[in-house]
Structure 1
Amino acid sequence: MLNKIDHIGVAVKNLENSLAFYESMGAKPYHFEEVASQKVKVAFIKIGESNIELLEPTSEDSPIFKYIEKNGEGIHHICYDVQDLGKALEMLKKDGFKLINETPLKGAHHKLVAFVHPKSTNGVLTELSMDEK
């Protein structure tokens, strides 16, 4: 069911400052977006077949703001592309995995996304995504 690693999400306090490392290594961001449902601004950087998603909170009640307050900046989640997100969530729930989102949300790049709780995935916050149909 997992097609590929879509991206690795990195929580940052400031997108512009955080882009400096990638730009100095020759990797330019190719997409910027604000995701209102998650209260973040994002920048995507293509590296090979995968992406790095930098996430800057837009509000103090953003999950990313709370994450940074608790853990500091750094890797927040890994995202896997799946063919059928609804079917994947149904299967995971049936198999006893703890879901943060039982129904998909609208994410960046016009994708549908849902998160699986890190307690079910060896401590790694896991995002599943698919292109919106």
Structure 2
Amino acid sequence: MKPTHIEHIGIAVKDLNEAIPFFEKVYGLECYAVEEVADQKVKTAFFKVGDTKIELLESTDPEGPIGKFIEKKGEGIHHMAFAVENLAEKLTFAEEQGVRLIDKAPRKGAEGLNIGFLHPKSTFGVLTELCEDPNK
């Protein structure tokens, strides 16, 4: 599969209005984008740390994936995302290796990326997102 780098680490939070100032004041990071991804029922905030991003995720619906995650596990690391090229091929390859897929085909995610998730039951308990920048 050979990811090019860790694209981002997703952290589920209850309230972006509380979490963003913490990341800015305590870690000295700058929030450079806030975006709502309606079909995923989430609002995101992004910070850069070198070549990697931190993505804060606030649920816009308690029945959405982040709302359910926080209800079950509380705030914390939700997923890790790898940058890949040829995302559709990488999802097919993962499935051929016996990995259970959440997304069998790429879909649109935040920041205009194409994304696909691998099920944590197949990845040692870590929800894993594969991301491809369609502009590269």
| Alignment TM class, shorter chain as reference | over 0.9
Instruction: With the length of structure 1 as denominator, give the TM-score of the two structures.
Output: 0.97
Spell out, residue by residue over 1:107-132, the C-alpha distance to the aligned partner (whole angstroms, 9 max, x if none). 00101101000111111000000012
Write the letter of the residue equivalent to 2:13.
V
Aligned match of 2:123:
121
Identical aligned residues as a percent: 49
Q: Which residue of 2 aligns with 1:74?
A: 76
- Give unpaired runs (5+ residues) of structure 1: none
Q: RMSD of the TM alignment (CA)?
A: 0.9
**Secondary structure of 2:69's partner?**
helix
Deviating runs (4+, > 2 A) in structure 1?
Answer: none
Deviations 1:51-70 (A, max 9, x none): 10000000122100000000
Q: Tell whether the 8 Å contact from 1:9 to 1:76 is kept in structure 2 after alignment.
A: yes
Structure 1 match to 2:35: 33
Question: Which structure 2 residues correspond to residues 11-50 of structure 1 after superposition, within 5 A?
Answer: 11-24=12-25, 25-50=27-52
What secondary structure does 1:86 align onto? helix
Cα offset, 1:105, TM superposition: 1.2
TM-score normalised according to structure 2 size? 0.95
Alignment size in residue pairs: 133
Inter-partner Cα distance in structure 2 for 1:103 and 1:63: 19
